[in-house]
Amino acid sequence: MSQIVRIIKATVASLALACSTMIGFTLMMPFALLKLVLPFKSARRVSDAAINAIAENWVGVNQWWMDMVGHTRWHLSGHEGHRRQGWYLVSSNHQSWVDILVLQYVFNRRIPLLKFFIKQELIWVPVIGLCWWALDFPFMKRKGGGSAQKDLETARKACEKFRVIPTSVISFMEGTRFTQAKHDQQRSPYQNLLKPKSGGVGMALETMGEMFDCMLDITIVYPHGVPTFTDLLMGRVDEVVVNVKEVKIPREMLVDERGQAPSRATVQTWIQGLWEAKDRELNEIKARYKAK
């Protein structure tokens, strides 16, 4: 594909993204304000359903321009057979901003809308930050110390809201995008992953655990290198591998009959086991595509 054609397609994609974002923002705000004025469960149920539907249409536009700009070969497994009216705890490795659009592309209207734990400073992103606020995305400071307790309380309040209508709560448990520099600085014991953090997932399990159908454990691989958002707009994402595994949430990860939540160490041990398996899976996938 010539560079001129790529630039034209990227321009069309950018315009489609900008226009759909502005339209979605304009449609969302009245319902978001309604939730503020009428903070009752019945009003929230109606408002949340409307806002989520608007967001799903926005994702649908993204699916259109992603197909239009490139000829990405999607290698998907385990992504079907889930319930749109269910509740899911979702986990994925994290390498690029593109991951978010990949997950939305794969799961739009297959499961409830994905709700992310995101960094506090992203609320200031023009327009889209307010859309995330309207969607009740939990904004996390992730600075450790005293702010860690505030982050957990933020996660708790968000998860209480997610109980109102079917929701998919997703956490990039590494807390940030993977880079080799971050990996080396952490001295991560995993070859392909940063150390996982259990706080957000633990809070989701504590407040919603009995509602989750299961965990969807997702592994994303870009066989030809991790793309940037510009690469996506330019149609330079040739292949994407997305493996989805249903993982039953162990009973010991849930609040017990005495109302006691599992300890952070218990949740961390479970997550570390999942991470070890994911690291092996990443090695297998990369080796398979490297051999082609």
Name 132's Cβ contacts closer than 8 Å, sequence gap at least 6. 116, 118, 122, 123, 125, 139
Contact 94, 177 (CB under 8 A): yes
Q: If we measure between CA atoms, which residue out of 138, 197, 141 comes closest to residue 162? A: 138
Residue 53 lies in a domain: no
Residue 46 lies in a domain: no
Looking up residue 115, the CATH number of its domain turns out to be: 3.40.1130
* CA max distance for the chain: 65
The residues pairing with 116 across neighbouring beta strands, listed in sequence order, are: 170
Contact 43, 88 (CB under 8 A): no
Residue 63 lies in a domain: no
Residue 2 lies in a domain: no
Residue 14 lies in a domain: no
Residue 6 lies in a domain: no
Helices and strands (DSSP H and E) totals, the chain? 9, 8
**Pairwise CA distance, residues 17 & 28, whole Å:** 16
Q: Long-range contacts: 178-183, Cβ < 8 Å, 24+?
A: 178/93, 178/94, 178/95
DSSP SS3 for 79: coil
Residue 47 lies in a domain: no
Residue 64 lies in a domain: no
What confidence score (pLDDT) does residue 96 get?
A: 96
Give the chain's domain count: 1
Contact 93, 285 (CB under 8 A): no
Q: If we measure between CA atoms, which residue out of 220, 200, 174 comes closest to residue 89? A: 200
What confidence score (pLDDT) does residue 41 get?
A: 86
Give me the tens of pLDDT residue by residue for the chain, a chain 292 residues long.
678 888 899 999 999 999 999 999 999 999 999 988 988 888 889 999 999 999 999 999 999 999 999 889 999 999 999 999 999 999 999 999 999 999 999 999 999 999 988 778 888 888 999 999 999 888 877 555 555 667 677 777 777 888 889 999 998 999 889 999 999 999 999 999 999 988 888 888 988 889 999 999 999 999 999 999 999 999 999 999 999 999 999 999 998 888 888 898 999 999 999 999 999 999 999 999 886 6
Contact 237, 98 (CB under 8 A): yes
Distance of CA 71 to the CA centre of its chain: 24
Write down the pTM of the prediction: 0.90
Residue 204 domain boundaries: 72-290
